[in-house]
Chain A
Amino acid sequence: MNTLFDKIWDAHVVQHVDGGPDQLYVDRLYCHEVTSPQAFDGLRDRGLRPLRPGRIFCMPDHNTPTHDQDKPIADPVSKAQVDALARNAAEFGLTHYGMMDPRNGIIHVVGPESGLSLPGMTIVCGDSHTSTHGAVGAVAFGIGTSEVEMVLASQCILQPKPRTMRIRIEGTPGPCVTAKDLALYLMQQLTTSGATGYFVEYAGSAVRGLSMEGRLTLCNLSIEMGARGGMVAPDEVTFAYLKDKEFAPKGADWDRALAFWRTLRSGEDAVFDKEYSFDAADIAPMITYGTNPGMGMPIDGTIPADASPKALQYMGFQSGERLLGKPVDYVFLGACTNGRIEDFRAFASVAKGRKKAPGVEAWLVPGSWEVQRQIVAEGLDQMLAEAGFAIRQPGCSACLAMNDDKIPSGKYCISTSNRNFEGRQGPGARTLLASPLVAAAAAVTGVISDPRTL
């Protein structure tokens, strides 16, 4: 009761359906090419058109290659999907940022950085990592394709109201402990189903102390604990980030919005269905050893004795083993989890003055063209080039390997993405999730390394 989540949700309820879910009004629908074509087909089959096209924004990201984006996509199946999105957006009058458009990128990177995602909004997309946008103080969650069709048709969605959870992290994180490590720690503590059925509000001084980029990373990974979404109450960090963004309100509208946004916080008397509290000092740089994101441990730890044998067999590891010093084949920096400017700064801070280890293949993929422009503006591309790293073109890339960025079977990849499921980065690929700092440490040493002791 009286939580930030309740306030935003309740303000968007069009009606309570008898004996069922809430009919929730949606401020923003984002569409990417993978989960939308069947929804547009459905719309056509029913003879409908989008009710509020101005609230819908489309961009391809999953299939886009990370090189030669100015040329047609070589894979005909990927191309068909990307083309279908462009065609559907044109037919239905929706905003579409195609490949090579300066505003294209991963939808969960573009939304916040362009000011499309704003505090107090309801935001949905056919993608579980829609939880990312909660970092600006919005109620944002992933939906299925039938639900995309629902929102296209009615700008509403039928949803049972989730329960509320607050996770406080107090204190100051230690050296090299990033938002990614906080999230991997929470998953390890709560498991991948620990927050299923809940919408999470992150709070506490360690969360307040995160930059906007860090909060986006934290909220991004909410789904990996099973949560419907995650959010952080907007504050001065949020407002400074959003000011002057392309779609953020301007002038008097900004002042009016700001006054409203300042009211968006859980009341002192707020009651959550569940609360957890953690101490940031207990959190080390993390890495995963298994095949779901909850199978994580401190980078200098040993694989637990009760680790899943099936997962260890897939990964080629054994209980009781340390991961430090094990060779790495691939390093992936990017994804909606860690594809923002702060992540490239972190990676570059380790790579600076060092060289990429021979034998390591490193893919550095900005989350958007805007991030790419920031990388160049800050001279990070030069610094990384001197260390032997090239920057690729934006997209989801090796996070789920729908383009040609696939990790070969049996190879180890330190990845800043969000899922280490079997086959996620390509059939047989072995993924170890970690922060950009841990990824960079592996990239320059060729083995799993602790960035604190480099």
Chain B
Amino acid sequence: MKQKFNILESTCVPLRQENIDTDQIIPARFLKATTRDERYFGENLFRDWRYRADGTPDPSFVLNDPHYGGDILVAGRNFGSGSSREHAAWALAGYGFKVVISSFFADIHKQNELNNFVLPVVVSEDFLQELFDTVAADPSARVRVDVPAQTVTSLATGRSEHFELNAYKKYCLLNALDDIDYLVLQQDKIESFEKSREHAL
């Protein structure tokens, strides 16, 4: 939810798999809620990987591995493909993730994360693989995400990369403002735009 975002330092949960689609992040049967209860979605994050058919936790899945924890999810390339369901972003936020690091994000999901103050951080494939290796070797390894400087740093190795974040979204994250706050202030511009195209459909 709306919260100021500045500098975050945390251990990571490594999910070393590519093309994780939003049906895996939150299966469709959990989309029936009519409220935005992030805790409910968080409890069902990666539901079918996290729990076996009988409802018991699958110990081989990383979220059930007590060695790993933290505010940062590190995932393989093309994270969040498929369905536009924002429930996937709510599930990540509800579980407690504040940052997702990957080498590539699907468009709609990336926007959904940003709109929920979960920061998608795109790093090079090489850096991503190094992060996976570092965290696998030492689950207590920490990563620092600096929004004002737009840098992500592996504190274990000192390697750092710059990440993209447009100036507008950065301002929103730093100040806990969202797009709707901005848009409702633009009504004059919207109305003059509508007048300028009255001939159109």
Contact A421 B82 (CB under 8 A): yes
**B-chain residues with CB within 8 Å of residue A19 when the two chains form the complex:** 166-168, 170-171
Q: From B23, which residue of chain A is reached at the shortest CB distance?
A: A421
Is B186 part of the binding interface, using a Cβ–Cβ cutoff of 8 Å? yes
Q: From A77, which residue of chain B is reached at the shortest CB distance?
A: B32
**A-chain residues with CB within 8 Å of residue B32 when the two chains form the complex:** 34, 63, 77-78, 80-81, 402
**A-chain residues with CB within 8 Å of residue B179 when the two chains form the complex:** 146-147, 150, 158
Q: Distance in Å from the Cβ of A44 to the closest Cβ of chain B?
A: 12
Is A231 part of the binding interface, using a Cβ–Cβ cutoff of 8 Å? no
Contact B24 A193 (CB under 8 A): no
Q: Distance in Å from the Cβ of B185 to the closest Cβ of chain A?
A: 9
Q: Given A153-B183, A153-B184, are A144 and B35 neighbors across the interface (CB < 8 Å)?
A: no
Is A120 part of the binding interface, using a Cβ–Cβ cutoff of 8 Å? yes
A48 to B84, CA, bound (A): 24
Contact A150 B166 (CB under 8 A): no
**B-chain residues with CB within 8 Å of residue A196 when the two chains form the complex:** 78, 81, 104-107
Contact A27 B84 (CB under 8 A): no
Chain A residues 131 to 160 lying within 8 A of chain B, measured CB to CB, are: 142-147, 149-150, 153-156, 158-160
Q: Given A21-B168, A196-B106, A422-B48, are A14 and B84 neighbors across the interface (CB < 8 Å)?
A: no
A124 to B116, CA, bound (A): 19
- Interface residue from A144, A153, A193, A401 paired with B29 (Cβ < 8 Å): A401
Q: Given A142-B108, A402-B29, A421-B23, are A11 and B48 neighbors across the interface (CB < 8 Å)?
A: no
**A-chain residues with CB within 8 Å of residue B24 when the two chains form the complex:** 421-423
Contact B78 A17 (CB under 8 A): no
**A-chain residues with CB within 8 Å of residue B87 when the two chains form the complex:** 145
Is A391 part of the binding interface, using a Cβ–Cβ cutoff of 8 Å? no
**A-chain residues with CB within 8 Å of residue B29 when the two chains form the complex:** 401-402
Q: Given A23-B186, A150-B183, are A427 and B48 neighbors across the interface (CB < 8 Å)?
A: yes
Residue-wise interface mask of B (160-201) relative to A, using a CB-CB cutoff of 8 A (1 in contact, 0 not): 000000111111000000111011101101100110010011
Contact B116 A154 (CB under 8 A): no
Is B71 part of the binding interface, using a Cβ–Cβ cutoff of 8 Å? no
Contact B178 A144 (CB under 8 A): no
A421 to B78, CA, bound (A): 14
Residue-wise interface mask of A (59-77) relative to B, using a CB-CB cutoff of 8 A (1 in contact, 0 not): 0001100000000000001
Residue-wise interface mask of A (4-47) relative to B, using a CB-CB cutoff of 8 A (1 in contact, 0 not): 00000001001101111101010100000011011001100010
Residue-wise interface mask of B (46-64) relative to A, using a CB-CB cutoff of 8 A (1 in contact, 0 not): 0010000100000000000
Contact A192 B193 (CB under 8 A): no
Contact A35 B186 (CB under 8 A): no
**B-chain residues with CB within 8 Å of residue A164 when the two chains form the complex:** none
A38 to B86, CA, bound (A): 10
Contact B183 A423 (CB under 8 A): no
Residues of A within 8 A of B (CB): 11, 14-15, 17-21, 23, 25, 27, 34-35, 37-38, 41-42, 46, 48, 51, 62-63, 77-78, 80-81, 84, 118, 120-121, 126-128, 130, 142-147, 149-150, 153-156, 158-160, 162, 192-193, 196-197, 223-224, 226, 228, 249, 257, 260, 292, 310, 400-402, 409, 419, 421-424, 427-428
- List 26 A–B pairs whose Cβ atoms lie within 8 Å, in order of A's numbering: A18-B167, A20-B168, A25-B193, A34-B85, A37-B34, A41-B35, A41-B36, A63-B32, A78-B32, A81-B32, A126-B84, A127-B84, A130-B84, A142-B84, A146-B178, A150-B183, A154-B183, A192-B19, A196-B81, A223-B82, A226-B78, A226-B106, A249-B201, A400-B28, A421-B24, A422-B23
- Interface residue from B82, B85, B86, B184 paired with A419 (Cβ < 8 Å): B82
Q: Given A128-B83, A150-B180, A192-B81, are A20 and B190 neighbors across the interface (CB < 8 Å)?
A: no
**A-chain residues with CB within 8 Å of residue B77 when the two chains form the complex:** 193
- State the interface size on chain B (CB cutoff 8 A): 55
Contact A118 B201 (CB under 8 A): yes
Q: Distance in Å from the Cβ of A248 to the closest Cβ of chain B?
A: 10
Q: From A155, which residue of chain B is reached at the shortest CB distance?
A: B190
Q: Given A128-B108, A402-B29, are A11 and B168 neighbors across the interface (CB < 8 Å)?
A: no
Contact B48 A158 (CB under 8 A): no
Q: A15-B189, A34-B32, A145-B87 are in contact. List 6 more A-B contacts (CB 8 A).
A: A19-B171, A37-B34, A149-B180, A158-B168, A196-B107, A226-B81
A46 to B187, CA, bound (A): 16
**A-chain residues with CB within 8 Å of residue B9 when the two chains form the complex:** none
A146 to B21, CA, bound (A): 19
Q: Distance in Å from the Cβ of B26 to the closest Cβ of chain A?
A: 11
Q: From B49, which residue of chain A is reached at the shortest CB distance?
A: A422
Closest 5 pairs between A and B when the two form their complex, measured CB to CB: A20-B168, A19-B167, A144-B86, A146-B115, A144-B112
**A-chain residues with CB within 8 Å of residue B83 when the two chains form the complex:** 127-128, 400, 419
Q: From A121, which residue of chain B is reached at the shortest CB distance?
A: B201
Is B27 part of the binding interface, using a Cβ–Cβ cutoff of 8 Å? yes
Q: Given A19-B166, A153-B184, A193-B78, are A38 and B34 neighbors across the interface (CB < 8 Å)?
A: yes
**A-chain residues with CB within 8 Å of residue B17 when the two chains form the complex:** 310
Contact A146 B81 (CB under 8 A): no
Is B129 part of the binding interface, using a Cβ–Cβ cutoff of 8 Å? no
A25 to B171, CA, bound (A): 23
